[in-house]
Chain A
Amino acid sequence: MDQSELHQWEERCIQDQPPQCTAACPLHVDVRGFIGRIQAGRWAEAVHILRKTMPLPDLLGRICDAPCETRCIRSQCGDAIRIGALERACVRSHPSPLSAPAMPARNKAVAVVGTGLSSLTAVWDLIRKGYAITLMEPGPQPGAELVQQHRALLSPGLVQGQIDGLKTLGVQLQVNVSIDHEDFPGDLLKTFQAVYIGLDSVQPAAVWPPESRRVEARLQQTGMAGIFAGGTPPSAVWQAAQGRWAATTIDRFLQKVSLTAGREKEGPLDSRLFTSLKGVAQAPAVVMTNPAAGYSIEEAKREADRCLQCQCLECVKSCAYLETFGAYPRKYAREIYNNASLVMGARTANKLINSCSLCGLCETVCPEDFAMQDLCLQARQAMVQKGKMPPSAHEFALLDMEFSRSERFSLARSAPGTDRCRYALFPGCQLCAADPDKIKPLYEHLRSVQQGDVGLILGCCGAPAHWAGRQSLYREVCDALTRQWQDMGRPHLIAACSTCYQMFRQNLPEIAVQSVWPILAHSPLPSAAGNGFSSPVAVHDPCTTRHEPHIQNAVRHILDRLGIAYEELSPGGEKTECCGFGGLMSNAAPDLAMEVVRRRSRLSSHDYLTYCAMCRDSMAAVDKRTLHLLDLLFSSAAPADPAGRKRTGWSRRRDNRSRLKNGLLAEVWNEAPAAGTGHQPFELHIPPEVGDVLESRRILVEDLQQVIQHAEAGGRRLRHVESRHFKAAWRSGHVTFWVEYAPLGDGYEIYNAYAHRMEVSFP
């Protein structure tokens, strides 16, 4: 990712866009932060937030006409928040005396003519930048015009107090200044380096040079160099804004830098920030007991409580993964970019990158289609290319994929007695691993309902390599699959796993693929299908069917035909959630994956029904009763209570695949078992609690066998002085496995096992 790509990613996430109120405000007051503090009862902090952007809050806070309210999202669910009234309540109860840190003097003098709000704002901004300010009032009483304009809200004493405050900061005040002569602007420029004329309180004299009366909006400069002006709008906050913009222009003019650079975002803006109103109850504005006095503190607090504190976070609200890392995609994009650019030190975003399930829910719920899965997958691919992918992140899943591609499982056969076929069932590695008994009935059923020969391919679609960012390995898998497919006569693949379906569709366009479910939905159902199932189920759609409504609909059609009542999970359909297996989340972040599936499992008390073997097993791992659709279709091949069966362990998943292959070879094709499958050198007795430990540590029975085999064949082992157990280690691939065991009958009893990746040697 280069800088411009990063910026494209960042731009797409709208969470940092300003709330509509702030965007509408010519001064960009942080209204959300201000009201948030009132909600928390932290009034002093609320004032502090006003002071950061609002000039002279004791004045403007009382008279602001609050254009922000016109864009308040709350107005769609009741009235707009009374932001102006909240500002008044705040500044009335918490006055903020004018103070500013002493700035080094700049030796440049600015005259500010008029004592209206725009002039006072310009004075406030310029004095804090170190300019010598002379404030000139044509009348006898400074601030009189301002009081006149806002009689109900401003007292003469309050305005005088503000002007006195400016004087204590060093402002020179002159009253009764004569301005009605034609040389007035030009004469000022003999003494001052710049002049601001506040048109909200001063009428330019008709005798002034015409160019000094021509004002360019936003920059607030006139046609006469050194003369600036503003304050014409009737709105108080716009007067203040023009005073502020004039001060900025004067500062730049005096520093001889660009007047315009970087000022594109001044004034009201559009904002793309989206805020959901889902679940927001209608609520009208809090009524003032005494409108003349404004909100009381207590009323203001209640009114503030109506504020939605607008933000988007649509994706974060929908995804435990995005929530876990404590920020949102815009920030994550930056973290991922920094992670890749790091030369020395810890790559702290590795976990962030590798934990995403790549399920695409964020993109579906995002108003701007931010695809975290694309960001993470690209980052993984880049890490692999640079040799910076942590080896442990995906290794277990990649080894499992290698198993699926090996002679111990891989198989490609045309229908018995043929050497080419029109269709081929591709059940997928994990369905075979978890539910091998359903494969033969499914295959035979398809042979009976499809017009044309149906072959079979056992193998892996390559999803683990793709998800792990191993592009060259994935291409290798695809090439091998393509060769198998060509050898079988280019059959239409029938995928029983929606991940395989997605992989083929997205990455192997020359291979025609269809999902098994629409085929089953629109052909005779197996006899005895659905027998014995009556209670309603809740349908969990695998995340890889998110954009495949025809598959989701086919599954419901099958349920209808079976007479099985079902309910929809919410979120479901295109907003369905991953079970925690997708994207290898359960490899890189097992705890998070458990949390993800736990959340999903709590959406309904009914048994779930799904049509992905990994979804079923992930649910089973958190004790959520879950059926696979094949349990209903081929109930005679299902155990007594299929929804209640436990998750299939890692070792069993391998045994199942090998047994399935050999069973099919023998029963369907009359062939001998494949070499290297099914042989166990000796029996291992593994108590259930030890089995659970092995599962959580992803240690296979064959790992244990390797260790014991080497230790017992003259390798070295340890012996415990009390228990008399043996302990031995063996390094297989990048992992050293330790096993604590003792002989039992013809085999061994296992007491414990653990693993590490470091290599240890003596000395």
Chain B
Amino acid sequence: MITESATAQEMKWTCDQCRCALVAGQVTVSYMGHRFTTELPHCPRCGLVMVPESIALGKMAEVEQILEDK
């Protein structure tokens, strides 16, 4: 629902602890009792997920609003 292809810049973040590049893949997001999966960059080793700014302020904010108004 909130997947958007992360820009090239956003994929240049690495997991500092595991020293590896982030990959796009399925993660779980939840809000107000609703739970679903979507694709976001994350560390393939430790699972640290990054929410890029464009998604936090774009699609994610939109979905938050929709869920709040349900």
Contact = CB atoms under 8 A, between A and B. Distances in A.
Interface of A: 345-348, 350, 390-393, 716-722, 726-727, 729, 736, 738, 752, 754-763
Contacts of A736: 51
Contacts of B69: 346-348, 350, 390
A729 B51 contact: yes
Contact of B26 (A348, A390, A763): A763
A738 B50 CA distance: 9
Interface in B15-33: 15-17, 21-22, 25-32
Which 9 pairs show the lowest CB-CB distances between chains A and B? A762-B47, A390-B68, A756-B56, A718-B13, A719-B16, A758-B31, A347-B69, A721-B12, A758-B29
A718 B31 contact: no
A760 B28 contact: yes
- Most chain A C-beta atoms within 10 Å of own C-beta, residue among B16, B29, B32, B49: B16
21 contacts: A346-B69, A346-B70, A347-B69, A390-B68, A391-B32, A718-B50, A719-B13, A720-B14, A721-B13, A721-B14, A727-B13, A729-B51, A738-B51, A738-B56, A754-B56, A757-B64, A759-B31, A760-B28, A762-B28, A763-B25, A763-B37
B8 to A, nearest CB: 11
A633 B37 CA distance: 60
Given A392-B64, A718-B14, A759 B51 contact: no
A349 to B, nearest CB: 9
Contact of A758 (B13, B46, B64): B64
Contacts of B30: 758-759, 761
Given A347-B69, A757-B64, A758-B60, A716 B31 contact: no
Given A752-B53, A760-B29, A763-B28, A717 B47 contact: no
A756 B16 contact: no
A717 B14 CA distance: 9
Given A718-B13, A718-B16, A757 B31 contact: yes
Contacts of A720: 12-14
Contact of A762 (B14, B21, B48, B63): B48
Contacts of A752: 53
Given A716-B46, A760-B40, A346 B28 contact: no
Nearest to A727: B13
Contact of B28 (A347, A757, A761): A761
A754 B60 CA distance: 12
Contact of A718 (B37, B48, B63): B48
Given A716-B17, A756-B60, A392 B68 contact: yes
Contacts of B26: 763
A589 to B, nearest CB: 12
Given A760-B40, A760-B49, A717 B16 contact: yes
A108 to B, nearest CB: 53
B29 A759 contact: yes
Contacts of B40: 760
Nearest to A717: B16
Contacts of B49: 760-762
A761 B61 CA distance: 17
A754 B55 CA distance: 10
A391 B26 CA distance: 27
Contacts of B47: 762-763
Contacts of A755: 56
A761 B51 contact: no
Nearest to A714: B17
B39 to A, nearest CB: 11
- Most chain B C-beta atoms within 10 Å of own C-beta, residue among A722, A752, A754: A754
Contact of A716 (B16, B29, B53): B16
Contacts of A727: 13, 50
Contacts of A757: 31, 64
A549 B12 CA distance: 62
Contacts of B27: 760-763
A52 B15 CA distance: 71
A756 B25 CA distance: 19
B49 to A, nearest CB: 5
A727 B15 CA distance: 10
A393 B28 CA distance: 25
A363 B56 CA distance: 40
B66 A346 contact: yes
Nearest to B70: A346
A456 to B, nearest CB: 39
Given A722-B12, A756-B56, 11 more contacts: A391-B32, A718-B48, A736-B51, A756-B57, A758-B30, A758-B31, A760-B28, A760-B40, A762-B42, A762-B47, A763-B47
B57 A719 contact: no
A736 B49 CA distance: 12
B22 to A, nearest CB: 7
B3 to A, nearest CB: 13
Given A390-B68, A716-B15, A726-B16, A758 B48 contact: no
A720 to B, nearest CB: 6
Nearest to A346: B69
A42 B61 CA distance: 45
A727 B48 CA distance: 12
A762 B30 CA distance: 11
Contacts of B48: 716, 718, 762
A763 B69 CA distance: 27
A348 B69 CA distance: 7
B28 to A, nearest CB: 5
Contacts of B14: 718-721
Nearest to B61: A756
A752 B56 CA distance: 13
Contacts of B68: 350, 390-393
Nearest to A392: B68
Contacts of B61: 756
Contacts of B31: 757-759
Contacts of B13: 718-721, 727
B15 A718 contact: yes
A760 B26 CA distance: 11
B5 to A, nearest CB: 17
Contacts of A391: 32, 68
A481 B66 CA distance: 37
A758 B14 CA distance: 22
Contacts of B17: 716-717
A763 B43 CA distance: 11
Contacts of B25: 763
Given A346-B69, A350-B69, A760 B51 contact: yes
- Most chain A C-beta atoms within 10 Å of own C-beta, residue among B26, B57, B64, B68: B68
A693 to B, nearest CB: 10
B63 to A, nearest CB: 7
B11 to A, nearest CB: 10
Contacts of A738: 51, 53, 56
B55 to A, nearest CB: 8
Nearest to B68: A390
B28 A754 contact: no
Contacts of B12: 720-722
A696 B42 CA distance: 28
A729 B68 CA distance: 23
A387 to B, nearest CB: 10
